[in-house]
Structure 1
Amino acid sequence: MAGPLDVLPVARGVGLPWDDEVGDAVVAVANARAVHGDSFVVRSGGDDHLFTFSPVGVESFYALPEDVASKGVADYLMLRRKLPDEVFAGRRVLPDALFRRDDVSSYLNHLSRALDATEAELGEAGTVELFALTRRLGHRLGLASWAGPGCADGDTFERLVRAFDVLDGAEAFVHPDAMAAVAAAGKASERQALDDVADVVAPVVRQMDSPGADVGGLFGRIVAAWATEPAPVRDRGVAMDVALIHIASMSNLMAALGWAVVDLVGHPDRARLVAAGDADLARRCALESTRLAQRSIMARSVLRTVAFDTGAGIVDVPPGWTIATLLPLLNTSAAPGLEAWDPDRWHHHRLADTSRLASPMLVTAFGHGRHTCPAQSFSLAAMSMALTRLLGNYELTPQWDRYPRPVPAQIGGVARSVDDSRVGYRRR
């Protein structure tokens, strides 16, 4: 029988970085856990959060039905701090349509061409900021995959990169402390960037009206979804679908790729094997680096009262609350040795040995069960391809004097580096 929430301790004086000056967001929640145990309440900005870290609590979290406690709603509430409502309203093709099997094969073909373009830009030797490199690669891959012909090339590509750098929804959790300023400005820069995307994409949409135009792939499906509308409505609608898909899809993947390169250049024996084409090792390295780079707050917005088992008891959580756990506090501490980078701990997409874990769900790179990221297989294939290409074709030399650090305020997604993470490179 469920009991009232007031049996749970409240972490007094602890806020979340959207609402309070927190410093290091993960450390703030870790300190609250050290004081209050594995289940406690955080009240921040007028919102109530039940944080859970016990084995039973985490298993209960992953078992929450979407129609009762919604990941989609929680993600929307986070992203709308950064993005105008227009990018969400009235969408006809959503990011969950991204990963059909035939689409994934085409994305990998686009990635191969994007890597060709990246190598052409790099040339024979030089230095490059690693996370800027992988971010640009992600833009090129994504825009080639769903923004229509020509959007990953030339001036059109550069205009879209500038717009999407402004529209980076990940800023809502990478720099949550900046969201008050975004709101105060009425999201003016973001609205202008959406107009820029529409200006670029509209002529591409009109090209689809030409006889013999290639209307296949995801972009073709987006255009078809708006085909019955008058041209101005159609063009804007297609552009907004493209914008939401691009915003939702690439930034975490390419941040994870950056950390995988960081870790491999720090482990030259493994890097040599990946450079020689060991795709399975590259995939395991990608999983391990993603695990360690996680800053994700996994959150579910409660839509209907739910009886939730924290491990210390069952409590009724009412609508309007958020149930959450924080991956960086589990991924490196749920068993001895997890703080170290070791790709051999993975077998396929799972940990090879979970015997020392109180629950296998305490450690993850991409989630568990029905809450596994739908992009997991594609992401690992893409990172594996990129790692084998970049390390196979270039000798990389790190130019940092300490391991790059995550942005302290970040509470969500894969870590972004607060440090300049330059590498020197020379073509093999």
Structure 2
Amino acid sequence: MIWILLAVFIICLLLRFPIAFCLGLSCLVFLVLKGIPLIVMPMKMYSGIDVFVLLSIPGFIIAGNLMNHGGLTEKIIGFCNHLIGHVRGGLALGNIGASMLFAGISGTAISDTASIGSVMIPAMKKEGYDAAFSAAVTASSSTVGPIIPPSVPMIIAATLSGLSVGKLFLAGALPGFLLGFSLMVLTYFIAKKRNYPKLERSTAKQILKGFVETFWSLLMTFIILFGIIGGVFTPTEASIIAVIYAFLVGSLVYKKLTFKTTMVVILDSMKTSASLMVLIGFANLFGWILITEQLPQLISSEIINFSENKYVVLLLINLLLIFVGTFMETIAALLILFPILLKVATAVDVDPIHFAVIALLNLMIGLTTPPLGVCLFVSSSIGKVSIGKVSKAGFPFLLVSLLILTLVTLFPDLSLYLPRLFMD
């Protein structure tokens, strides 16, 4: 019967149904054919979203949207261009730098691609950058967002596994910055080889002014991260503080948030949060069915029977997650696969915090892996260039991302050093 569940799910995916509907319909078909009372559906859906830490997700979504509509994106981009715009390929480097700074606010790769890309891709094309390269840089750098804290997918992973949100945030910091700077190095060499333009060097006064304007947005990330790590407030409380802070900065400091804009932001955030909660609810039901049918145990035993070497196991998991990440939304993939694969990883003595970072990196790389990577489609649409050209231009960035994934997989201290330093 479990194969009927999976078959219906895959068919719905191929028909391009929303992920939540794919999960819901496949679960409904399974329950009807199995003769299980349908009252199980609302019960399991409710138990999946009845988790205190999940209340932080709507808060972070609202805070990110408030800061984005409040002029944050432009300030961050301007500051990055002041800092490194005079270097060869400065706009491209500023694109990546903006993604690294914006990561602490948005926490999702797709919103990063759309927000940064809508400003930077046209600007890069206007300055003489190749359209495919501009789109590829934007898509590749957006994967840094959910690795550098705070991160919505990390909150989901912590909820699914009972891991500390603070430890996960810290664990993603070094890999996130390592990925971002590695993409910068590659971009610089490509820009130098192709003789891409550079901006005029900014004066110290311009840099200082850019820092002051960006300071307020960076301060929010600092407050959230160190507030959670220091035990000052929970992730849920942090999200509410972020909303209040974002509103005050957007309305009083940047003066971009009006009452009308704020209402639009809240309405959009409510829609996003509601759709996400429905997805989490259906995923919990889907996961319950998998567990009752003992599919996780089957997968675990098959992988461990194949090899008990933890590096071979991690290689297999990496390949699976990258493949899944190419066609499935990150949070949906986490909800379905993370609990199953975490048991496999811990069975071969992989630290759960370390594995969570590996899993997230994989799924982020999947978003920029052709032919179905979602971020590639978003950036190609903004850049008005074919997905094939963007995929070709993004191939070197994909290789760099895979190299960082390999390093994080082989060297656990890259993700575990900061959690051990601050929270053990």
TM-score of the two chains, using structure 1 as the length reference: 0.29
Which of the two has greater strand per residue?
1
TM-score of the two chains, using structure 2 as the length reference: 0.30
Which of the two has greater helix per residue?
2
